[in-house]
């Protein structure tokens, strides 16, 4: 059963639909990532769930309770929803203890103990309690912001790109710590991010937005391996998209005849392969399907090899060891089956 449910939610700014009839169901205790390019509507959707804005149409429900039915909406402070923003939004004039305790009754007898427990939950030393936010690192500030949100014992946690301001190494470790914490607490979480790798690693459910519409939703594995369109495929990672002729589970394309994951499609279409499915092997003399190496862009562990294949060029990411020389002929070996993209593709216009 769905814990958070959106039904036909629409939000307009003048003639522009920032959110266009979005329906989405999120299970209790799960972690959902909403991803999409800039302007896709993902942050607006988060604001509607939080109660910072009201939809023009549609319904938002949480745990069976109606939070919004068109413009009639429950105020944000009555929703039981925690929010962590990109910059943490800590109060600079308050100590760590005062920031975390902001949402706890000042006269509650167990207030200091609750603040201490929250500090331990987010992995921070109690010695930091008297410090001000400017004495903390970026990762520590984000953990304090999370502890402050958890202090209100929310039913739902909303994260609006909370890791984007951190450096790469700190972002990964903080993301993992936050994911583990929220999972252990059993709190349903919605993360908004433009970082595809972050969405795939953090969430167990991913929703892709485009031009205010929900384009596809499913598990990270489903969306990565079986995206509906070329736009979704390339947004979620490197992808090789090829025109092909489809027939009974096979595709004839520039790489030869390949097995595909759709037995029903016939005729012209597009197929997708992920880079990890492709490897280069020496060409067999006289082989019909071969490619000439037109360029090699060395990048260390991951390099780009540009191939000339018939009248087309194909850029493949390959390991740095054993790269072919420019001008040599190679064959592209394919592991697994290619994915057949939807016909017709979804439009973002």
Highest mean pLDDT of the ranges 23-27, 135-139, 196-200: 23-27
pTM of the model: 0.84
- Structural domain spans, the chain: 2-230, 231-340
For the stretch 135-182, pLDDT in tens is 998 888 888 988 898 888 899 999 998 887 777 777 788 788 888 888
CATH 3.40.50.300 fits 2-230, yes or no: yes
> Can you tell me the mean pLDDT for 245-258?
93
Give the right CATH number for 231-340 from 3.40.50.720, 1.10.3720.10, 2.40.50.140, 3.40.50.1100: 2.40.50.140
Q: What is the pLDDT of residue 344?
A: 52
What rounded mean pLDDT belongs to the chain?
Answer: 90
Reply yes or no on whether the pLDDT at 270 is more than 70.
yes
* pLDDT at residue 289 in the model: 63
* pLDDT for residue 291: 86
**pLDDT level of residue 288 (50, 70, 90 thresholds):** low
* Residue 267 clears pLDDT 90, i.e. is over it: yes
Average pLDDT over residues 106-117: 90
SS3 for the chain, per residue?
Answer: CEEEEEEEEEEEECCEEEEEEEEEEEECCCEEEEECCCCCCHHHHHHHHHCCCCCCEEEEEECCEEEEECCEECCHHHCCEEEECCCCCCCCCCCHHHHHHHHCCCCCCCHHHHHHHHHHHCCCCHHHCCCCHHHCCHHHHHHHHHHHHHCCCCCEEEEECCCCCCCHHHHHHHHHHHHHHHHHHCCEEEEEECCHHHHHHHCCEEEEEECCEEEEEECHHHHHHCCCCHHHHHHCCCCEEEEEEEECCEEEECCEEEEECCCCCCEEEEEEECHHHEEEEECCCCCCCCEEEEEEECCCCEEEEEEEECCEEEEEEEECCCCCCCCCEEEEEECCCEEECCCCCCCCC
């Amino acid at each position: 059963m769905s814990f958070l449910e959106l039904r036909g939610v629409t939000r307009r700014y003048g003639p522009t639909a920032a959110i266009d009839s979005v329906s989405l169901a999120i299970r209790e205790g799960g972690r959902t990532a909403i991803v999409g390019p800039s302007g896709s509507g993902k942050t607006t959707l988060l604001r509607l769930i939080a109660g910072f804005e009201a939809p023009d149409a549609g319904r938002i429900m949480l745990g069976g309770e109606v939070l919004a039915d068109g413009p009639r909406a429950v105020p944000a402070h009555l929703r039981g929803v925690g929010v962590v923003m990109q910059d943490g939004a800590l109060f600079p004039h308050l100590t760590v203890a005062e920031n975390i305790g902001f949402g706890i009754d000042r006269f509650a007898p167990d207030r200091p103990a609750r603040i201490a427990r929250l500090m331990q939950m987010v992995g921070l030393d109690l010695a930091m309690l008297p410090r001000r936010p400017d004495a903390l690192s970026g990762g520590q500030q984000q953990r304090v912001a999370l502890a402050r949100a958890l202090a209100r014992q929310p039913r739902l946690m909303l994260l609006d790109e909370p890791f984007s301001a951190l450096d790469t190494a700190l972002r990964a470790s903080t993301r993992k710590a936050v994911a583990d914490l929220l999972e252990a607490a059993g709190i349903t979480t919605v993360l908004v991010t433009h970082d595809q790798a972050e969405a795939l690693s953090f969430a167990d459910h991913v929703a892709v937005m485009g031009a205010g519409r929900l384009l596809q939703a499913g598990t990270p594995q489903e969306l990565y391996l079986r995206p509906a369109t070329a736009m979704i495929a390339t947004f979620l990672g490197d992808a090789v998209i090829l025109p092909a002729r489809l027939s009974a589970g096979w595709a004839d394309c520039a790489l030869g005849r390949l097995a595909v994951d759709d037995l029903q499609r016939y005729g012209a279409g597009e197929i997708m392969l992920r880079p990890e499915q492709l490897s280069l092997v020496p060409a067999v003399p006289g082989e019909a399907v071969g490619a000439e190496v037109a360029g090699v862009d060395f990048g260390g562990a991951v390099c780009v090899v540009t191939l000339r294949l018939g009248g087309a060029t194909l850029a493949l990411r390959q390991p740095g060891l054993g790269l072919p020389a420019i001008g040599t002929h190679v064959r592209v070996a394919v592991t697994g089956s290619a994915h057949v993209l939807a016909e017709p593709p979804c439009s973002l216009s």
